Amino acid sequence: MVRQLREMIKNDIIGSIQKVDVQYYQGWINPIIHQKKLRNTIWRLNPEKVGISCCIGDIGTHAFNMAEYLTGMKIKSILADLNYLYEENTLDIDGTILLRYSKHVKGVIRASQIATGEENSLQVKIYGTKGGLKWNQENPNELHVLKEGNPVQIYKPGNAYNSDVSLDGTKLPPGHPEGIFDAMANIYLGVAKAIRNEPFNLCEFPVLKDGVRGMKFIESCVASHKNGNTWIDL
């Protein structure tokens, strides 16, 4: 349904994009962070093992990748406000990042590992001049389509009304839930198709540039926060 969402944006179903809102909330660090001895034993909070960032480096980059992949647009600049919660904790565990795609297209990434009780809440909301699209990874088989003055529509995988690239990534008939491992396998399949010179529109996979942009995003978020929450160009 993520592929379907992207195709609907490409096909102008919601018009020109005006607002992008991506949330990635987890709560697993909350029971750890409040006990100093315990948090000092977690490798995710050890800069010697994890680098300059915990939350943004771990899950914030996924949200960033989604924000660029789905819209088909590159984020021009970001402003980050990160939360470390305790003074001696040197790695972020929560953050809000403002996004600028262009002068009139803006958005936000909200990432947290102290969202108490949350499991793996990756949510995408993209709004255009003619409508909006909403998707939630914890309910991945439903894509909500919002249109001005119309009832909400729910698209589900495997049905003929979906795009070719969506159906290409669907392994089961309608009503049979797809699994997260199938999503991973779709990436490997995309690489294999590219190697075999199959149609480019079915070769869906991230490339080296996507990884580099993810690293730049992490570095820029940390720099923006340390510079007093300033705008940083990507």
What's the longest Cα–Cα distance across the chain?
A: 55
Interval 56-66: pLDDT, tens: 999 999 999 99
Residue 51 has pLDDT above 90, yes or no: yes
Task: State the average pLDDT over residues 84-101.
Answer: 97
Least confident of 9-13, 43-47, 167-171, 178-182: 178-182
Residue 221, domain CATH? 3.30.360.10
Q: What's the pLDDT score for residue 202?
A: 80
The pLDDT confidence band at residue 116, using thresholds 50, 70 and 90, is very high
In this structure, is residue 194 part of a structural domain? no
φ, ψ (nearest 5 deg) of residue 151: -65, 155
Task: State the average pLDDT over residues 178-193.
Answer: 88
Residue 77's domain comprises: 2-159+210-233
In this structure, is residue 111 part of a structural domain? yes
Dist CA 9 CA 191 (whole Å): 23
Dist CA 59 CA 76 (whole Å): 20
Task: State the average pLDDT over residues 127-148.
Answer: 97
Task: State the average pLDDT over residues 33-38.
Answer: 94
Residue 178 has pLDDT above 80, yes or no: no
Q: What's the pLDDT score for residue 176?
A: 84
Residue 25 has pLDDT above 90, yes or no: yes
Q: What's the pLDDT score for residue 171?
A: 85
Dist CA 213 CA 148 (whole Å): 34
In this structure, is residue 10 part of a structural domain? yes
Residue 209 has pLDDT above 90, yes or no: yes
Strand pairing report for 106-112 and 17-25: parallel
Instruction: Give the number of domains in the chain.
Output: 1
In this structure, is residue 48 part of a structural domain? yes
Q: Which residue has the tokens 């936000």?
A: 108
C-beta contacts of 206-215 below 8 A and 24+ residues apart: 206/65, 206/69, 210/65, 210/68, 210/69, 213/64, 213/65, 213/68, 213/74, 214/61, 214/64, 214/65
Dist CA 212 CA 35 (whole Å): 35
pTM: 0.91
Dist CA 144 CA 9 (whole Å): 13
